[in-house]
Amino acid sequence: MKNTIINSLNKRSALIGIIGLGYVGLPLALRYLEAGYPVLGLDIDQNKVDKLMAGESYIRHISVEPIADALQAGRFEAVTDFSRSGEADALILCVPTPLDRHREPDLSYVINSLEEVLPFLRPGQVVALESTTYPGTTDEELKPRIEKTGLKVGRDVFLVYSPEREDPGNPSFNTRTIPKVCGGFTPECLEVGKALYGQVIDQVVPVSSTRAAEAVKLMENIFRSVNIALVNELKTAFMKMDIDIFEVIRAASTKPFGYMPFYPGPGLGGHCIPIDPFYLTWKAREYDVVTRFIELAGEINTSMPYFVVQRAAEVLNEHEKALKNSRILLLGLAYKAEVDDDRESPTYRIMELLERKGAITRYNDPFVPEIRPSREFSHFAGRKSSPVTGGYDLVILCTAHPQYRELNPAGLNVPILDTRGFFPDLAGVVYRA
C-alpha cells in the first residue's frame, strides 16, 4: 500500500485533493498543477468554486492564468461535493483554525472537513493537515476519527502534518521555495509525506513526529509575536523620551550580527501571529505549564489599538478638537501591505474603539473595496472604501500600502497619525503612534 502511493506521487500521476481553497490552499493547488499533477479542489464556499471554475482568481496576488490554463488542460476541478474526495490519492487540509470568543482553539473547520471526507476514505490515501494547531492535534483528533472507519493509520491510510508557511505578497519566497517541514504519525507515514511534498517543494525538512511538526509552526510565530511585542513596548517608552523608534531600528539594523529588526505597529493582524501563540498557551495548561512570556507578549500586542486611539485623542486635542464627533479616516484595512487579506486586522479594532468614543470613521484601502462579513466585526460588513480627500479631522495610517506614497501629507491639510513610520516626520502634520 505504501509503495503504491509513493510510486504514484513520484510519477506525478496521483490526484491531489486540496480541502480549503483560500490563501494557503489555492497557492498549494497551483503549485501541484505547475508540477504536472491533476488537482481536485474542495471547498464549502460555492462562490469561490464558481469563480475558479470560471478561470478567475479571488485573491489579489494570485494570477488567473495558471487557473485558466489548468482548466483548459482538464487537470483541475473545484467542487463543493465532498463525496468526490474518494477519487483523490492525497487529501491536504488547508482550513482555518481561529480562536473562539474565549480565545481558545476552534478546530471546528478541521474536524468538520475531516468528517465530510471520512465516509469516502479508502485504503491507499494520504491525509495531510497543514492548518496551524497545537501539538497533539493530528494524533489526538484526526487519527482516532480515521481509525473508527476501520482503516489503520500507517498501514491503510498515511497521516502527516506539514505546517503551511505562506507569506502573501512576499516577492522573495513562494510555495516552491519555502522549505516544508513534515512529520508523520509513523515512519511509513513520514515516507509517504516526503513523497507527497518532495516533487513540488525544493526542500522537505522531516521531523520525528506530527507533534514536533505542529510545534515548529507555533515556535516560528511565537518568536515573531514576542519580538513584535518587545518593539511595541519600546516604542511607547521611547516616545515618552522623544526618541523615534524607527530611527533606532534603522541604526540598530546596521549591526551585522546578534540583531534582527522587528517593527512596531497598531497591533497584530493576519491568520497566524495574533492566533497561533494562544494555541500553545491553551495546550500548555493541560500540562500545568504557565506560558507567562507568551501571554505577556499577547497582552502587549492586543493593547496596541487602545494606544493608537489614545494617541488619536491627544493629537486631536493639540488641534483643539475632541475625539467625539471627529471625522477620522483610517488608511489601510488589510493586515499587511500590498495584500487584500483583512483577517484579524488591527484596523477593525481601532475603528470599533473610535466609534465607541463617538468618532465618525471611514476607511480607505485600494485592495479592500468593501468590507466582507466576519465573525467578530460583522457590523462593519458592507462598508465601502472612501476616497482620500479633505474634510476629515484626523487621518490614521494603519497599513503601509505603497500607494500611499503618492499622498502629500502637508497637502491634505489634516494631521496624520502614522503607526508604521511610513511618512516623513513633518512637525505639526505627521505624528507617531
Among the candidates 180, 207, 234, a domain finishes at: 207
Q: What percent of the chain has pLDDT over 70?
A: 100
Query: pLDDT band for position 418 (50/70/90)?
Result: very high
Does 203 lie in the same domain as 242? no
Better-scored residue on pLDDT, 173 or 83:
83
Distance CA 354, CA 375 (A): 20
| pLDDT at site 69 | 85
Please give the residue range of the domain that contains residue 335: 224-432
Over residues 208-229, the pLDDT tens digits come to 999 999 999 999 999 999 999 9
Asked if the structure places residue 212 within a domain, the reply is no
209 DSSP assignment: -
DSSP 87: G
The last residue of one of the domains, among 207, 241, 275, is: 207
pTM: 0.92
Total structural domains in the chain?
2
Please say which residue of 175, 207, 239 terminates a domain: 207
* Average pLDDT rounded to a whole number, residues 160-181: 90
Interatomic CA distance for residues 189 and 185, integer angstroms = 6
Sequence-ordered list of residues with C-beta below 8 angstroms from that of 195, at least 6 positions apart, any chain: 5, 6, 9, 10
| Within a domain: 368 | yes
Please tell me the least confidently modeled range out of 23-27, 109-113, 164-168, 402-406. 164-168
Q: Does the annotation count 272 as an active-site position?
A: yes
Dihedral sign for Cα 296, 102, 211, 19, please. Answer: negative
Phi first, then psi, for residue 44 (nearest 5°) are -80, -10
What is the per-residue pLDDT for 73? 87
Residue 217 inside a domain? The answer is no
pLDDT interval class at 367 (50, 70, 90): very high
Q: Which of 183, 198, 181, 193 is nearest to 10 (CA)?
A: 198
Q: What is the pLDDT of residue 71?
A: 87
**From 182, 189, 272, 398, active-site residue:** 272
CATH number at residue 134: 3.40.50.720
Q: Are residues 228 and 202 in the same domain?
A: no
C-alpha cell at 26: 489555492
Average pLDDT over residues 389-399: 94
Task: Please determine, for residue 10, whether its predicted confidence score (pLDDT) is greater than 90.
Answer: yes
Q: Reduced to 3 states, what is the DSSP secondary structure of residue 432?
A: strand
Residues 158 and 17 in one domain: yes
Burial status of residue 359 (CB atoms within 10 A of its CB: 0-12, 13-18, 19 or more): buried
